[in-house]
């Protein structure tokens, strides 16, 4: 009997550091079919728990043959208050959860912009030759 199974891995998050409130955060996940048969057509990466951060409830994923993988982008928006937030996602299909573990995505929000050093202009004295 065919049992769909999945593995989600965090590839990267942009921006990948502390973000300001209401900042758009793109989370890139790799979804891999680690089962022994193709996924059905209705597979999606679905929000499970934590803070949804403005993302849709689910993002459709193409049907994958055993061993294949694809990239999924979660469009998150940082909450308006400073803190550390986790959003948990897993691969599902209409008949229930696909076997595999959920993945938590963490976003740290700051209410103050991080300071960027401003270069200080320097004046270099130069000598001007005296007219002859």
Pick the more confident residue, 121 or 49. Answer: 49
Query: Tens digits of per-residue pLDDT, 79-117?
Result: 999 999 999 999 998 777 777 889 999 999 998 765 555
Backbone angles phi, psi at 112, to 5 degrees: -125, 140
Query: CA of 116: how far to CAs of 42, 104, 113, in Å?
Result: 46, 30, 9
Query: Tens digits of per-residue pLDDT, 9-60?
Result: 999 999 988 999 999 999 999 999 999 999 888 899 999 999 999 999 999 9
- Rounded distance, CA 79 to CA 107, Å? 9
Which residue in 84, 39, 86, 92 sits closest to 65, CA to CA? 39
- Global pTM reads 0.79
């Amino acid at each position: 009997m065919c049992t769909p199974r999945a593995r989600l891995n965090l590839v990267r998050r942009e921006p990948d550091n502390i973000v300001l409130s209401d900042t758009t955060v793109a989370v890139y996940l790799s979804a891999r079919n680690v089962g022994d048969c193709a996924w059905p057509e209705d597979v999606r990466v679905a929000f499970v728990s934590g803070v949804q951060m403005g993302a849709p409830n689910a993002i459709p994923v193409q049907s994958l043959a055993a061993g294949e993988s694809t990239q999924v982008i979660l469009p998150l928006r940082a909450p308006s208050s400073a803190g550390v937030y986790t959003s948990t996602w897993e691969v599902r299909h209409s008949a229930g959860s696909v076997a595999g573990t959920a993945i938590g995505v963490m976003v740290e929000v700051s209410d103050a912009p991080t300071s960027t050093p401003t270069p200080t202009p320097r004046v270099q004295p130069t000598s001007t030759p005296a007219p002859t």
